[in-house]
Structure 1
Amino acid sequence: MRAFATSIDISAPPDRVWQVLTDAPTLAGGGFGILRIDGSIAQGQTFRLWSEVAPKRAFALTVVTMEAPRLMVWTSGMPFGLFRGTRRFNLSAHGSQTRFDMRETFTGPLAPLFGRAIPDLQPSFDTFAAALKRHAEGAHA
């Protein structure tokens, strides 16, 4: 199973971080490594996302879990679970800060085959976390 993860401490309450994390226009225009999002980030919704990592490919993502302001899960993949990506966002309060954790795992019978074609997503995960921190703390530059 191939996976990528990042974590960061953010000097803002979970509600504020959640507000940024679920705002599609901010994610698409705020240095998150996301070029465009069509649709809304809401429970049960499917939206399309274009990333800087693969700018010519739209990823159809479904929000399968949304427990504000602590947990959100997006999934994407092939029918019958042949290949699935699951991205999990966790927010936990620690005093006046929020611990943000993001992890994506790739599973299914075809994961070994497709996993080799997935580029190193670690830099884009770290970019996403840093942008979330900047926006949630109020420094957008």
Structure 2
Amino acid sequence: MSPAEVLRVADVIFSAPPPRGWLDCALAVDQVLRALTGRSALGDLAGAYATPAQARRLIRRGGGAVLFRAGVMRAGMVPCGPVPGAVGFTPEGRWGFAVAICAGPGVWLVPVHRGFAVRPDMDSCWRFAEWA
């Protein structure tokens, strides 16, 4: 997938009015990856909560980083570098972490309310194993 394709799809999804507006960064990024690949980056974790309150409870119980890494690994993702379509994680974010999708090296799209912010890097990133 190309950087332009990731940007085009992410812009439409991240800029959508509610119900996208309430989704946390992980579910929003998951929607972008599903639109691009037909697959969920979060696997079963994507269906584990449906409201912000449920998300906060799940994060408190499982820890943001631990929960994220376990979810992407169960979905068949492996560690990688900054390639278009990779899913990234950083401990800096609204809920103590942030999840983003990569449009290309140095361009990580982090969902915010009705749009996205761009970060130059993430602490870790993952892609589907077959994208080798």
- TM-score per shorter chain, which class? 0.3 to 0.5
Which one has the bigger helix percentage? 2
TM-score computed with the length of structure 1 as normaliser: 0.31
Which one has the bigger strand percentage? 1
TM-score computed with the length of structure 2 as normaliser: 0.33
